[in-house]
Structures are given as structure tokens and as C-alpha cells.
Amino acid sequence: MAESASSKGLTYRDAGVDIDAAERALADSKRAIRATFGPRVLADVGSFGGLFRADGLGTEPVLVATADGVGTKIRIAASVGRFDSVGRCLLQHCVNDALVQGAEPLFFLDYIGVGQLDPAMVAQAIQGVALACQDHGVALLGGETAEMPGVYPVGEFDLVGTLVGVVEREHLLDGSRVRPGDALIGLPSDGLHTNGYSLARRIVEQRFGADDYHAQFPGAEGASCADVLLRAHLCYLDPLRPLLRDPALHAMAHITGGGVGGNLPRVLAGHSAEVARSAVPPQNVFTQLVAAGEVPEDEAWRAFNMGVGMILAVDAAHGPRVLATLKENAQAAFEMGQVIATDREGEAEVRWLD
């Protein structure tokens, strides 16, 4: 980056940081951010901290907080210049993480780190977050955009978020209700959600012979690789809300990095699970990636969700009722196994039935 021609003195802009560009990006997004504010938000955009009234949240309210990013899905967004869907993915991913402990989301804060700040790009990402917040009744309470030349190469960026939700203590899903024999019910994902992208990108770039992400995705009529791989992470809040206070719901696992095997045991309080992989409806995106990458089956189930985005552990006697409730809410679901006792001296694990 050249120093300014008129002077030998260094300025912040010479050093690669454009404070005005950050302020422009924020100004363009203020309307969308304010639209997420409910009656609990007390301060406007731009204060040092977002303010959220916490009176009357419940009798024994428990805050549930979770931080996450969207992984290298962001590199596909950057390569095709489409930044809104990753904002939605991030928010919906975090809502699911709080949801599995029984929580309704309250507020969200985002962070964008970039190598060189493009106000239009940043505004698109923030607005993607803000629209998703509005859809789910979440206040976009704060955020930060940081221009960090060198930490990020020009054209690269990271998008990080923290969500805080609330659950009444008696309805907290903490694994204590889980019992061997509980039925496992899976909810379909819509593609990769936000995990396994480093592997998926490598397969697309090396094995599909796709020059870029505008090329057609094999077997996906009329859809480019970008279309398929930027699909938004599904949010399970609306279809699962009617079950949150149902005593038959014992636990939920959000299937993210590590796949079914890495996530399901996290919520089973030491119990194990047996799972039929064949019960999960296959999706073209996984079939194509696994075939082209010659990815070993166990590795595929560790890197990808393979078609299941959320797993519920429910009292087996109430399984049919839970399935009926999900159907009433237009949520597809499938039985995929059961909770089993963990071997004495053994570790909690997922045993594949096929």
C-alpha cells in the first residue's frame, strides 16, 4: 500500500485501515439492525454496549450463551461475492445451539474481521444477520467490524457471533432425563449447514474440475456449486417450540462439526446410542461429494451431517406422539435408533447399526 504522496507522515489509512469505510458500512445497516429491536432493547446502535432489559424473564431463568463462526463456508461466499446467506447461517446455527438446551433466543452480537474493508460487502453480511434475527425474534444487540490487514488476506473475512437465550430452569434440557431405550428422532438438514467446508471445497476444487463455484453442481439441476453449498443452515426453533416444555423430550443434539458421532454423545449424559445410518434420507450433495472425493464412510460421517441436522432423544412410549406433533408443524422427521447403556469401563459412543 503506497504512502500518501503529499507527505512523508504516516496516517492510519496508509497503514491499511479506513475508519470511514467501517462507519459507512454501519450506517447502511442501521435500519435493518433497529428493526430487530424489541421492547427489551434500551440503547441505539453505536453505544459501547447493547442494553437488554432482563426483568421478568422467568421464575428461575437460566441464560444459555453460545459463540460460533460459519467455518470456511465463508470462503465460498467471498469467492462469489454473496454475503447475506452466511449471515443467516451464523444466526440460525447459534439459535439451534441454544435451542438444544431448551432455550428461546434473546439477543445476538456479531463480529466481522476483514483484510480490506468493502462497505457494501460488510453491509450485506450484517443485513443477512439482521434479517435472520428479525425472522426469529432475536435482537441484534451489538457488533464489531475490524479491518485487519495481514491477519486476513485481501478478499478474505471471518464472521463470528454470540447468541444469548433463556430457558426456565425446570425446562432446561441438560441430559438428566435421558434413559436407555429412548427413541432417537432425526430432522433432515438442508445440505452441509456450516460444517465440513474445508473438505467439501477441496473436493469441488480438485475433483469436480469446477473452475469456480459458478459451475453446475453434479446432479443438482440448474443449481451452481455456490447455490448448493451456500444454502442456509436450517433453524429448528419454530418446529420444535411446541415440544420445548414437553416432558417426553429428553435431549436434543445439533449436528455440527464432528457429525452425528461427535455431537449426539454430548447430550446423552454418559449414555451411548445405536444409530442406523440408512434411516437418514440421502441427499444428492453428500452422495456427490463422498463419491467424487472417495471419502471413507466413517470419515464422511465425521466431517458432514450427512442429511441429519438435529436429533431428538424422546421417551420411546411417546415417540409416535412426538412424530405426529412434528408432522403437524410441517417438520419432516425419521426414527433413526435408540439410546443404549454405555459399556462398563467404556466411553459414551455412537454404534452404527449399518
> Footprint of a copy of itself on residues 232-271 (CB under 8 A)?
253-254, 257-258, 262, 266-267
Q: What angle do CA 31, 36, 40 make, to 5 degrees?
A: 125
Q: Does 198 bind a copy of itself (CB under 8 A)?
A: yes
Rounded to 5 degrees, φ, ψ at 70 are: -110, 15
Of residues 82, 131, 149, 348, which one binds a copy of itself by CB under 8 A? Answer: 149
Of residues 50, 87, 128, 239, which one binds a copy of itself by CB under 8 A? Answer: 50
Contacts of 263 by beta carbon, 8 Å cutoff, 6+ apart: 253, 254, 255, 256, 311
User: Pattern of binders to a copy of itself over 107-126, x per CB under 8 A?
Assistant: x-xxx-x-------------
- Three cell numbers written together for 332: 419432516
Residue among 155 and 316 whose Cβ is closer to a copy of itself: 155
Sign for the pseudo-dihedral over CA of 234, 238, 239, 242: positive
- Three cell numbers written together for 31: 435500519
Q: Binders of a copy of itself: how many residues, by CB under 8 A?
A: 94
Of residues 27, 54, 324, 341, which one binds a copy of itself by CB under 8 A? Answer: 54
In angstroms, how far is CA 69 from the centroid of its own chain? 8
Segment near a copy of itself (CB under 8 A), from 27-35, 135-143, 272-280, 317-325?
135-143
Segment near a copy of itself (CB under 8 A), from 28-36, 72-80, 235-243, 274-282?
72-80
Q: Does 346 bind a copy of itself (CB under 8 A)?
A: no
Q: Does 177 bind a copy of itself (CB under 8 A)?
A: no
- Show contacts with a copy of itself in window 8-47 (CB under 8 A): 8-12, 14-17, 19, 42-43, 46-47
Say how far apart CA 114 and CA 175 lie, in whole Å.
39
Residue among 197 and 217 whose Cβ is closer to a copy of itself: 197
Contacts of 198 by beta carbon, 8 Å cutoff, 6+ apart: 71, 72
For 327, which DSSP code?
H
Of residues 29, 36, 69, 339, which one binds a copy of itself by CB under 8 A? Answer: 69
Smallest CA-to-CA distance from 283 within 186, 190, 187 is with 190
Segment near a copy of itself (CB under 8 A), from 123-131, 168-176, 271-279, 324-332?
168-176
Segment near a copy of itself (CB under 8 A), from 29-37, 219-227, 239-247, 287-295?
287-295
Q: Do the bridges between strand 272-275 and strand 350-352 make them parallel or antiparallel, or are there none, so unpaired? A: parallel
Q: Does 137 bind a copy of itself (CB under 8 A)?
A: no
- Angle, nearest 10°, between helix axes 84-99 and 73-80? 160
In angstroms, how far is CA 68 from the centroid of its own chain? 8
